Chain A
Amino acid sequence: MTSRRIIADYLVPAATLVGVLVAWEAATHALRIPRFVMPPPSAILAEGWDWRYRFLEHIWVTLGETLGGFALSILVGVPLAVLIVYSPVIKSALYPLIVLAQSVPKIAIAPVLLLVLGHGEIPKVFVAFLVAFFPVVVDTATGLAATPPELLDLSRSYRASAFKTFVKVRLPMAMPFFFAGAKVAITLSVIGAVVGEFVGSDKGLGYIILSATSYWKTELAFSSMILLSLMAIVLFGAVALVERFVCPWLAPAGEE
């Protein structure tokens, strides 16, 4: 990589971020903005540092809910996509339900779900799943349907079974689509877990945000928010990394 590329790819965005933080810090001091309205970055950082050990448990809870919801969205979403692609009857039976489930505002559903499923982490996993599964279903189904018809003819002319064609042709063909859906799903799972925590919980980063704001501890809410974003970014990166391993043929040319 040339030095010009390093500057463009890393230095410019890093400098922008630092610039924004400095301006933010300066503005809160210069304008004498009260801490509970808008804390300066230094206060957020200090508060986060104070909480570093107490945060661990909450990170753990939210991470578990997120990953649980994400895993469920794949375990349910992928087989659903297969059914939709292979059976027109199931497609016409399920598609309206799936779209309906998607169009109901999840934040509106969350209180009802918590009412039904009780407290604890299970209902949050379920909210995360509900938010995340739609892109998995739609993208995987699109991918499974994207196999060129010639390739299906070819398989048929070799008298390969439908199962063999599925495993050797359609499923790998759908992989890039599946990962596109999974990358959206993982970030939505984080949102779903937090929404679940907002409605009723005593653990998790969402809970911290809610209780910190009710005690005017805005800097704690901010540091929790930053942790949530970091979590979403890391999880997104992890899915992208898995994609690189599963679909090495998608890597840009000349990178092998």
Chain B
Amino acid sequence: MIRLDGVEKTYRTRRGDVVRAVEDVTLHVAENEFVTLVGPSGCGKSTLLRLVAGLTPATRGAIRVRDTAVREPFPDVGFVFQQPVLLPWRSVLDNVLFSVEMLGQPPRQYRKQAADLLELTGLGGFETKYPRELSGGMQQRVAICRALLPDPSLLLMDEPFGALDAMTREEMSLELLRVWEERRKTILFVTHSIPEAILLADRVVVMTARPGRIARVLTIDLPRPRTMELEFDPRFKAASDEVRRLIFARRVPVP
């Protein structure tokens, strides 16, 4: 589904310095695979998502989605960010419909599907509320519904639960898995949280910072559907130890 081969991205800061955000990234993601990207801040995880979405061009290397080279944004993508970035003047339902509207499709035809999605994510009955009347977790659910409504085959999630409290976060992770079981998609999911990365993923891509490189790709062979109890599984522990070792191995201690 997604093929990144030798991808490099450099950009210039305002002061004129050249920063290498990602370097020599080669990663192949299969159809309907759930891949999480984990690593320290500044390891280019978010840049990688923007590259795949065609929002920014690669400096070197090839990015292909379904055998088509990515040069500009393409419509088969859903994006979820750390902040819900809903439109405060629109009701919850109209916020969900925003995606199809921007894609140039008549929102009227999607009203039923949008309501179904809200129902699926536990937001049934909130259709006419304004975003500010919702909690952070609920707002992020609306953002996920918005991304899911055009039924994209690729979902790019940039620390979508990063701004939520720990309890809501776990709840949302399990809910995302439940939705994903029902509507299979290829998901690239960026996170700072090692347990989250392992709990969700088929494969975890561990990245290191400055420049952003892939340290290792770990296959998580835990049974699905996943539950929080899996955290006590020795395989979970082994995987999380391995991720931690990879991330902290190259770190120089602060004097």
Contacts and interface: CB of A to CB of B under 8 A. Distances in A.
- Are A and B interaction partners? yes
- The residue among A148, A157, A249 with the most chain B CB atoms within 10 A of its own CB is A157
A102 interface: no
Interface string A121-163: 0000000000000000000000000001011011111111000
B90 to A, nearest CB: 8
A30 interface: no
B99 A158 contact: yes
Contacts of A253: 132-133
Binding site secondary structure of chain A: helix
B85 A157 contact: no
Contact of A249 (B50, B55, B75, B88): B88
Interface of A: 148, 150-151, 153-160, 164-165, 168-169, 172-173, 175, 247-249, 253
Contact of B85 (A148, A159, A175): A148
Contacts of A153: 50, 53, 55, 79, 81
Interface in B72-120: 72-75, 77, 79, 81, 83, 85, 87-89, 98-99, 101-104
Interface size class of B (residues with CB under 8 A): 20 to 34
A168 B79 contact: no
Contacts of A164: 102
Nearest to A164: B102
A158 B132 contact: no
24 contacts: A148-B83, A150-B83, A151-B85, A153-B53, A153-B81, A154-B79, A154-B85, A154-B99, A154-B102, A155-B102, A156-B73, A157-B55, A157-B79, A158-B75, A158-B99, A159-B73, A159-B74, A165-B102, A168-B98, A168-B101, A249-B88, A249-B130, A249-B132, A253-B133
Contact of B89 (A148, A155, A175): A175
Contacts of A165: 102
Contacts of A169: 87
Nearest to B72: A159
Interface of B: 50, 53-55, 72-75, 77, 79, 81, 83, 85, 87-89, 98-99, 101-104, 130, 132-133
B89 A158 contact: no
Nearest to B98: A168
Nearest to A248: B89
A174 to B, nearest CB: 11
List 6 A-B pairs, minimum CB-CB distance, nearest first. A158-B102, A160-B102, A150-B81, A157-B73, A249-B89, A150-B85
B55 A156 contact: yes
Nearest to A155: B102
A158 B55 contact: no
Given A153-B53, A153-B81, A157-B55, 13 more contacts: A150-B79, A151-B85, A154-B99, A154-B102, A157-B73, A157-B79, A159-B73, A159-B74, A159-B75, A160-B102, A160-B103, A169-B87, A247-B89
B104 A160 contact: yes
A169 B86 CA distance: 10
